[in-house]
């Protein structure tokens, strides 16, 4: 697998600047919010989302340097993503993320919810200050989509009648919307044509869906120390993802275990065994690959550049995590 540091080479300097700026941007007046933000931005994320914004910015500006507004868009993207993770962890009652204690476990749920709200509010303020109505609309939609995705996930817990389409819609809301809309927003700031921006959106959408499906596969196949959370934790919390959906079609008994919310001893182990012995993981890999290949086609609209090459390699990087 390509290490992310070398993968993002054309924007490495941009990402270093972004990390320094994020802590200053939050500028929380309250010490607990400041401590929460500091912890979040130190927690060792790969910065994939702002990297995509910076790569699209450089791939669409070519011989011109990217503008302060492109950089600010990348920072806003990471703030929105981080805010969504904080709320996610509260809803999931997660104690670890990337093997680091979550804000809710370090402080408490109340502080975590407020920290997430604060980051959403700060990102909205900086977004408005970009003075570009189309970009404001694109990123505001992302914030709405996050809430929609959380609500759908909450309503569908342990619901074995959920369809693959509903799962993909929720995955779009929770993961792909940010990547799609921020990639398009970078194109808007570079004054690209509507057609190019449409392709940038679809690159992000397909990459985001592949990314989420891969994450959902890893929830079943990666050991706890790699995931930074217990294996199978999505299923345990009632979140039914692609591998389980495909496996249930082969073995309906998995539905029985899920519907009784793994209340009997050995239920979760049985369910995990059934999923591993089914075609569920293989079919999920095929689905992720389909979205990855679709993402690549939408890059044909860009002229050749080092940043475009990385956007192509990023698809391989996302898919290589499952092999």
Q: What pLDDT is recorded for position 229?
A: 66
**If we measure between CA atoms, which residue out of 52, 318, 320 comes closest to residue 209?**
318
Extract the tokens encoding 274: 């059934």
Asked whether the predicted pLDDT for residue 30 surpasses 90, the reply is no
Q: Which of 19-28, 195-204, 281-290, 306-315 comes out lowest in average pLDDT?
A: 19-28
pTM assigned to the model: 0.92
Q: What pLDDT is recorded for position 26?
A: 73
**3-state secondary structure string, the chain?**
CCCHHHHCHHHHHHHHHHHHHHHHHHCCCCHHHHHHHHHHHHCCCCCHHHHHHHHHHHHHHCCCCCCHHHHHHHHHHHHHHHHHHHHHHHHHCCCEECCEECHHHHCCHHHHHHHHHHHHHHHHHHHHCCCCHHHHHHHHHHHHHHHHHHHHHHHCCCCCCCCHHHHHHHHHHHHHHHHHHHHHHHHHHCCCCHHHHHHHHHHHHHHHHHHHHHHHHHHHHCCHHHHCCCCCHHHHCCCCCHHHHHHHHHCCHHHHHHHCCCCCCCHHHHHHHHHHCCCHHHHHHHHHHHHHHHHHHCCCCCCCCHHHHHHHHHHHHHHHCCC
66-124 confidence digits (pLDDT tens):
999 999 999 999 999 988 888 777 777 777 766 677 778 777 788 888 888 888 988 99
CB 80 within 8 A of CB 122: no
Greatest mean pLDDT range, 41-55, 107-121, 130-144, 218-232: 130-144
Rounded to whole angstroms, the maximal C-alpha distance in the chain is 63
pLDDT band per the 50, 70, 90 thresholds, residue 2: very low
- Domain extent, residue 40, equals 2-319
Q: How far from each other are the two terminal CA atoms of the chain, in whole angstroms?
A: 9
Mean pLDDT value across residues 302-318? 96
The number of domains in the chain is 1
Asked whether the predicted pLDDT for residue 16 surpasses 90, the reply is no
CATH number at residue 178: 1.10.600.10
CB 133 within 8 A of CB 96: no
Q: What mean pLDDT is reported for the chain?
A: 90
Q: How far apart are CA 84 and CA 78, in angstroms?
A: 10
* Cα 42 versus chain centre, distance: 18
Asked whether the predicted pLDDT for residue 27 surpasses 70, the reply is no
199-251 confidence digits (pLDDT tens):
999 999 999 999 999 999 999 998 766 666 677 889 999 999 999 999 999 99
Asked whether the predicted pLDDT for residue 43 surpasses 80, the reply is no
236-291 confidence digits (pLDDT tens):
999 999 999 999 999 999 999 999 999 999 999 999 999 999 999 999 999 999 99
CB 153 within 8 A of CB 162: no
Question: Residue 264: how many CB atoms within 10 A of its CB?
Answer: 10
100 forms beta bridges with 97
Asked whether the predicted pLDDT for residue 4 surpasses 60, the reply is no
Q: What pLDDT is recorded for position 3?
A: 47
CB 313 within 8 A of CB 2: yes
């Amino acid at each position: 697998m390509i290490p992310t540091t070398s993968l993002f080479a054309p924007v490495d300097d941009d990402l270093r600047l972004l990390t320094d700026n994020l802590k200053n941007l939050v500028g929380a007046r309250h010490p607990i919010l400041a401590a929460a933000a500091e912890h979040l931005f130190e927690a060792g994320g790969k910065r994939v989302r702002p990297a995509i914004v910076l790569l699209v910015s450089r791939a669409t500006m070519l011989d011109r340097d990217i503008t302060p507004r492109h950089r600010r868009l990348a920072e806003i993207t990471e703030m929105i993503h981080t805010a969504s993770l904080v709320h996610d962890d509260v809803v999931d009652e997660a104690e670890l993320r990337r093997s680091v204690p979550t804000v809710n476990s370090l402080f408490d749920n109340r502080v975590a919810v407020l920290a997430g709200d604060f980051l959403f509010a700060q990102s909205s303020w900086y977004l408005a200050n970009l003075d570009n109505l189309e970009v404001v609309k694109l990123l505001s939609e992302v914030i709405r989509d996050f809430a929609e995705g959380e609500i759908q996930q909450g309503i569908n817990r342990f619901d074995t009648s959920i369809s693959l389409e509903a799962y993909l819609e929720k995955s779009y809301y929770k993961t792909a919307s940010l990547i799609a809309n921020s990639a398009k927003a970078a194109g808007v700031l570079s004054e690209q044509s509507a057609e190019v921006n449409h392709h940038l959106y679809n690159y992000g959408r397909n990459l985001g869906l592949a990314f989420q499906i891969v994450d959902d596969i890893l929830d079943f196949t990666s050991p706890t120390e790699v995931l930074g959370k217990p294996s199978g934790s999505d299923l345990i919390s009632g979140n039914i993802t692609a591998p389980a959906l495909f496996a249930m079609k082969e073995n309906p008994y998995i539905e029985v275990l899920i519907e009784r919310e793994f209340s009997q001893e050995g239920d979760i182990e049985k369910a995990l065994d059934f999923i591993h012995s089914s075609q569920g993981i293989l079919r999920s890999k095929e689905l992720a690959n389909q979205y990855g290949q679709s993402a690549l086609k939408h890059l044909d609209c860009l002229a050749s550049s080092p940043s475009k090459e990385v956007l192509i390699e990023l698809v391989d990087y996302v898919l290589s995590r499952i092999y």
